[in-house]
Amino acid sequence: MDRREFLKTLAAAGALVTVKSSGMMDVMASTMPATATASEGNADLAAIMNGEPAAMLQAAMKELGGIGRFINKGDKIVIKPNIGWDRTPELAGNTNPDLLVALIKMCQDAGAAEIKVFDHTCDNWTRCYDHSGIEAAVKKAGATMVYAHERSSYQQVDIPKGKALKSAEVHKAIVECDKWINVPVLKNHGGALMTCAMKNHMGIVWDRRAFHSRGLHQCIADICTYKPAVLHIVDAYRTVATNGPQGRSASDVVLTKALFASADIVAVDTAAGKFFTQINKNISFDDIEHIPDGQQLGLGTMDLESINVKRVRL
């Protein structure tokens, strides 16, 4: 697609564009459809490019109809980012703290009665919470940081729709909240190939090893059927393109400056997955098996042409 055709496609999709183009925007253009209904009503999925995290979140929520579509005044909310690794924000192993601050502010403005943030980390939890910049940012924003390193924080629940995973110990913050928002970082993963909205659910359970022994992709899809998040916001500001999920050095990180948001977990992972596999061309989208597994469980659609997608360049 040349630049002129690309701009026409964005215009047809109702996107906001500037005169300049960019390599990453071309990647998004090649992976995201221009839907015929893109200018009609609230978006089902918003794909935002070329902004800072807070600005991209604002743009996405404007297209989706505002945070009030997803949470109500008085709700007890959990925000679940990826804080799995002892990495600074520049190394992109975790969700960007600036994005979380902006989301917390939105939830506060919407009248949330309580906002908790947690992740079951892979590296030492104190170092992850600290070096990611997330604990300090969350507390400064006025939300509560919850810990997840002790088994007593989890509750056994049934997963009746699961095929391989029939039960799991899920963090009580998820079990007890009114609603939760899933905020993963998009990046490479050795086993699952890509970690995004569906894969981020592994951080709400105590025993992640069971996923690997029972079939990783199916278990990822299965856990997503338990108390689905009301909204999925994919942080793709910086992306660990290779050697994920934590990356070895800054050379594994690409400044992609993108964000994807939707209530449909399958659609948002499809959009982000097609974007990611244009960055890391050694991975085929068709090999990310948990996405079609999720569609088969009725979690959403991979057919982006069938939903209202809005693309915005800031």
Q: Is pLDDT at 94 greater than 50 in this prediction?
A: yes
* Domain chopping of the chain, boundaries: 3-313
Largest CA distance in the chain: 58
Mean pLDDT (whole number) for 197-216: 94
189 pLDDT band, cuts 50/70/90, is: confident
Query: Could you tell me where the DSSP H helices lie in the chain?
Result: 3-12, 23-31, 53-64, 97-109, 125-131, 134-141, 172-176, 209-214, 216-223, 265-279, 290-296
The pLDDT tens digits for 134-155 are 999 999 999 999 999 999 999 9
Query: What is the CB neighbour count within 10 angstroms for residue 97?
Result: 22
Percent of the chain at pLDDT exceeding 90: 81
Which pLDDT value is given to residue 9?
Answer: 35
Distance CA 116, CA 102 (A): 14
- pLDDT at residue 247, as a whole number: 83
Give the mean model confidence (pLDDT) for residues 163-172. Answer: 97
Query: Would you place residue 4 in the very low, low, confident or very high pLDDT band (cuts 50, 70, 90)?
Result: very low
Lowest mean pLDDT among 9-13, 162-166, 171-175: 9-13
79, 104 in Cβ contact below 8 A? yes
When pLDDT is averaged across residues 12-23 and rounded to a whole number, the result is: 35
Q: Is 50 left (phi over 0), alpha (psi -120 to 50) or beta?
A: left
What does the radius of gyration of the chain's CA atoms come to, in whole angstroms?
A: 18
List the single range of 5-9, 41-45, 98-102 with lowest mean pLDDT.
Answer: 5-9
- The answer regarding whether domain 3-313 maps to CATH 3.40.50.11440 reads yes
Model pLDDT for residues 235-282, shown as the tens digit of each residue: 999 999 998 788 888 999 999 999 999 999 999 999 999 999 999 999
Cβ atoms of 222 and 164 within 8 Å: the answer is yes
Coil, strand or helix at 78: strand
Type of residue found at 209: R
Q: What is the DSSP string of 151-219?
A: GGGEEEEE-TT-SS--EEEEEHHHHH-SEEEEEPEEEEETTTEEESTTGGGGGGBS--HHHHHH-HHHH
Q: Which residue has the higher pLDDT, 214 or 171?
A: 171
Whole-prediction pTM: 0.90
Reported confidence tier of residue 39, pLDDT bands at 50, 70, 90: very low
When pLDDT is averaged across residues 123-131 and rounded to a whole number, the result is: 97
